[in-house]
Structure 1
Amino acid sequence: MPRSRPRALPFTALLALGVAAPNAQARERVDLLLRDVTVVDVVDGRLLPDRDIAVRDGRILAIEAHRTRPGYRAATTVDGNDRYVIPGLWDMHVHFGGGDALIEENANLLPLYVAHGITAVRDAAGDLSASVFQWRDDVAAGTRLGPRIFTSGPKIEGIGSIWPGDQEVADDAGIDAALDRLQAWNVDFVKITDNALSPPLFMHALAKAKARGMTTSAHIPMVVPVLEASAAGLGSIEHIAYAWKAGAPDEAGLSAKVASGALTAAQAWDTVQASFDPAGALPAYRRLAAHGTAVTPTLNGSRVVAYLDRDDHKRDSYLQYIGPGLQATYAWRVERAGKDDAAAIARRHARYERSAAILPLLQQAGVTVLAGTDAGFLNSFNYPGIGLHDELALFVHHGLTPLQALQAATVNGARFLKQDAENGSVAAGKRANLVLLDANPLQDIAATRRIRAVVLEGRVYERAALDAMLEQARIAVSRQRDVAAPPH
């Protein structure tokens, strides 16, 4: 049964979308022509059927009404046969790490992102910053296959952080020196976390980064009210549980009780869970939106760990693409979860479900939602590439529309990183980072998995090339396993 087609937009509307007139630049030379596709407008949620997309020098030259005879001389032509084109996907929370011995295994993850339609990633810190800086430059120069990398470099933490690779600071001067180094490395944002950093230093880091015009991202200490951090200029909250606390009744009083020792952090979370009221939380989330603080929920990673009692993931087919060293880093979360008794398992199930349930509230309040996976080392069975599609499925499962989920993985990320003038949507003049899908993602978000081709900076990789990337990753992992295997 043929699908119904939306009414064609008038010529004036096409101009507003940056779409060229049908006869403009006819027979002009282009590098790539995608013919007879339906463009998904992720900004407004409209479908633009029967379009040809002309690409030259890595950018979209024009989007025109489809014609039987091509209007351009193209070096490469892909017949879309009315398939759907979306912007390249953005994974806004990934990690590279595990120590120098795993540099190669981490580098081998980059093509996995491309093979799954992900053309940009936001690296949220690890212990391989020097390598990540080099990969960022190599990808930008076109000498390495991978998504465009935006990175925080090493994150800011207190003395004695449990995380390797951090910049550990003891005082205000240490914050200033850390920010100096990050600016010298030309990082794309600043990551601040709560493992060992004192609340005063956390707030000082936010203030100093804001004064320098640097975008921030954070895990918020339990003793710091979320709305205070947001008002201080926090750019994004990583992991939805930290945002959940903002909606608790008397969040400031709750934080004060933790600071005074009247409540432990675990007791505070129990209080949040028991007292949370969606209607009361909505005004607080509106304040987050008013301050411009985004939220990266990272639902998939939390879900995997929460339900390890039901699925140990030992038979996941995707493990064939993950190196043995990286797989070994998964063990610590698995071992910790394995120590939980029935009551602890029930608590982690409930915490995941109740925190994930605020996602539509955040959307309703106007908070910018960023799709990120937390994939990489340490985070068990949370896979680079396919994990973003799992994340989008969870967004819809927990109450977002397919369009809202798709926006979280495209235009929202580009806007957050101030890259939306050139990225995040399909329009003339923008970078040619595109995904050709077999089905309509506005009807079913699972369509993002049905990838026919990926265009990365103007170069097209059709299905056979994407499958070859996956096969090369599998072969590399197989060889690494052979090397790591003990002799008989």
Structure 2
Amino acid sequence: MRNNFLSFFFLVTLFLACMSHAVAMLPISYPPKQAVQQHPFIIKNVNVIAMTSPNKVLYHTTVIVRNGRIESLSGAVQKDAIIIDGTDKWLIPGLIDVHVHPPTDLSLRPGMPTQPPSVTFNTQDLMTPYVANGVTTIVNLNANMEAFCQRKEIQKGYVIGPRIAMAALINGGVGPGRTANTAEEGRQAVQDAKNEGYEFIKLYSQLNVETFVAIIDEANKLGLKTIGHIPNAFQGKLEQAFIPHFDMVAHAEEFSKHAKDFSEQEAQRFAQLAKQNGTWLSPTLIASVRIAEQVRSLDSLKALSTLQYVPPLLQSKWLTANSYNKNASPERVDYFDKLVQFHFQLVRSFKEIGVPIVAGTDAGVSGVVWGFSLHDELALLAKAGLTPEEVLVSTTRLSATWLGMASEVGTIEVGKVADLVLLNANPLEDVANTRKISGVFVNGQWLPQTKLHAMLRELSKRNTASKAQYDWKKLIGR
């Protein structure tokens, strides 16, 4: 009884500590304490890919970063500066992933016993793969109270991590989480999310038509953009889902669920619906690819080199309780293979008609590893037909614009936050060069390649050392 009381008291205290500041703070436009510095950083003789519109490349440029912001793109070398040699290197804006699911203790609880699970996640361990891959902004599309705590740890400078935008997920039906089944409930759910400090609303699959429409209308009134699924209630009447202020579809799969023959004509029809409504797309191609691999076999997951950076508990879950692989059959393998190919066609069709496409990964899905998966997504967008520059735009300027952060990040311009990635090769020639990272500025803090590699090594060691302690099936009592 006493332990239950203490657990309850801890959760309440944690909730009050995290949520008391949620409304007042500026969550996604801060340079935290760690960015303040006595000496400026100077990146000397670097090639700057500004990602402005139109995009400019500034060759052999001197970039000055002071107090977390870009002070100059043509300054002189100063005596008290910390010099970074940019010779033969390329500077791009920090990368943005608009669809992630960082784990929290609370995220394990739905459908499980009411007491907190016997495991906690170290926030730095969760954020290291992002910063090591140049991902300086993420959007948590199913945030909870502990996600606010993770964000606060970064803001306070206790953790080196990306800025985090928060979306409140609203679903229909009965179950854990935030649900709404009438227009009135939907509006109230949006109002609650706004009051709690969320910046976006995620729409989910079980919403009925009336509630879906009300949520979008209320979100627009309160200045919150909407992103998410196309609810199952629109099956056979897809056109009706595209109402004003349905701002972004979170997966290409949300369209393919409505396809009959996975044809180019269907892809073009879906693109037209989105274009007419001003709805953007984040296709999350890597999630579909990883799922298709796991439907076939778990061999690719076991061989994944980045698995070492995933918390041991989730490694166990992915490998021992994999829902994608559980009911595998030749028919399912064939279906998911077709799905992946159709998603490439969807991206081509959306590009051709001018629907904005932004990069998101659905990181947290088994096999989709935080940070690393964004580079996988960029490669797949290139495979689908985007040029290297269009791929870079999708994960920098366009994402920042949709998030309402374009005045702070997304391009390299004087006055903006120093979220920057220094590369050893030109990504405009080959988008795979975004993986060749020499160093990262995250919220104005410089992390050279040696530091990033050391952070990853330590993370891998900790995960390996504690791997035997975690068994997903034992945790959930199965």
TM-score by length of 2: 0.82
Judged with a 3 Å threshold, the aligned counterparts in structure 2 of structure 1 residues 367 and 226 are, in CA distance, closer, same or farther, namely farther
Contact 1:323 1:480 in 2 (8 A): no
Give the share of equivalent positions with the same residue, in percent: 28
Q: Distance in 1 between matches of 2:320 and 2:196?
A: 31
C-alpha separation between the residues in 2 aligned to 1:113 and 1:105?
Answer: 14
Provide the residue aligned with 2:230 in structure 1: 220
Contact in 2 for aligned 1:30/1:73 (Cα 8 Å): no
Question: Of residues 140, 144, 147 in structure 2, which corresponds to 1:123?
Answer: 140
Give the 5 Å matches for 1:200-219: 200-219=210-229
> Which of 296, 308, 314 is 2:302 aligned to?
314
* Separation of aligned partners in 1, 2:345 and 2:267: 12
2:132 is equivalent to residue 144 of structure 1: no
Match of 1:108 among 118, 125, 133: 125
> Of the candidates 36, 46, 49, which is equivalent to residue 37 of structure 1?
46
Contact 1:324 1:477 in 2 (8 A): yes
Partner letter of residue 316 of structure 1?
Answer: L
Partner deviation per Cα, 1:85-119 (whole Å, 9 max, x = no partner): 00000111000234253541565211110011000
SS in structure 2 opposite 1:436?
strand
**In 2, distance between residues paired with 1:38 and 1:327?**
39
SS of residue in 2 equivalent to 1:328 = helix
Q: What whole-Å deviation, never above 9, does each CA across 1:211-248 have from its counterpart, x for those lacking one?
A: 22210012002442444333331111011122456xxx
- CA offsets, 1:123-153, max 9 Å, x none? 0105xx1111112222223232111000113
Q: State the distance in 1 between where 2:401 and 2:187 align.
A: 27
Separation in 2, partners of 1:105, 1:322: 12
One of 79, 89, 98 as aligned partner of 2:85: 79
Contact 2:255 2:270 in 1 (8 A): no
Give a deviation string over 1:141-166, Cα, whole Å, max 9, x none: 3232111000113x1111324xx5x2
2:349 maps to a residue whose letter is L
Larger Rg: 1
Point out the more displaced range, 413-422 or 316-325.
316-325
Output the CA distance in 1 between the equivalents of 2:239 and 2:55. Answer: 31
Counterpart CA distance in 2 for 1:299 and 1:429 is 34
The total of aligned residue pairs comes to 419
On the 8 A contact 1:453/1:460 being kept in 2, the answer is yes
For residues 156 and 122 of structure 2, what CA distance do their matches in structure 1 show?
21
Instruction: Provide the residue aligned with 2:199 in structure 1.
Output: 188
| Matching of residue 412 in structure 1 with residue 422 in structure 2 | no
2:460 corresponds in structure 1 to 474
C-alpha separation in 2, matches of 1:369 and 1:392:
11
Match of 1:300 in 2: 286
Distance 1:475 1:386 in 2: 18
Summarize the Cα distance change of 1:229–1:142 in structure 2 as closer, same or farther, 3 Å threshold: farther
1:248 is matched with which residue? none
Q: Please say if 1:168 is aligned against 2:168.
A: no
Match of 2:26 in 1: none
RMSD between aligned residues: 2.2
Q: CA deviation at 1:290?
A: 4.4
What is the CA-CA distance between 1:281 and the residue it aligns to? 4.9
Aligned twin of 1:6: none
> Is the contact between residue 256 and residue 339 of structure 2 (CA under 8 Å) also seen in structure 1?
no
Distance 1:226 1:136 in 2: 36
Aligned residue in 2 for 1:346: 334
Counterpart in the other structure of 2:172? 158
Deviations 1:68-101 (A, max 9, x none): xx53234311011130000000111000234253
Matched, 1:237 2:249: yes
- Alpha-carbon separation, structure 1, partners of 2:461 and 2:39: 35
Of 215-224 and 305-314, deviating more is 305-314
Q: CA deviation at 1:204?
A: 1.8
Is the Cα contact below 8 Å between 2:123 and 2:150 reproduced in 1? Answer: no
How far apart in 2 are the matches of 1:300 and 1:410?
A: 18
Partner Cα separation in structure 1 for residue 136 and residue 440 of structure 2: 9
Q: For residue 437 of structure 2, what is the aligned residue in structure 1?
A: 451
The answer to whether the 8 A contact 1:112-1:473 is kept is no
2:102 aligned partner: 96
Is there any run of 5+ residues in structure 2 with no aligned partner, and where?
Answer: 1-37, 109-115
Q: Deviations over 1:305-349 (max 9, x none)?
A: 112326432122211111121123325873443423212211111
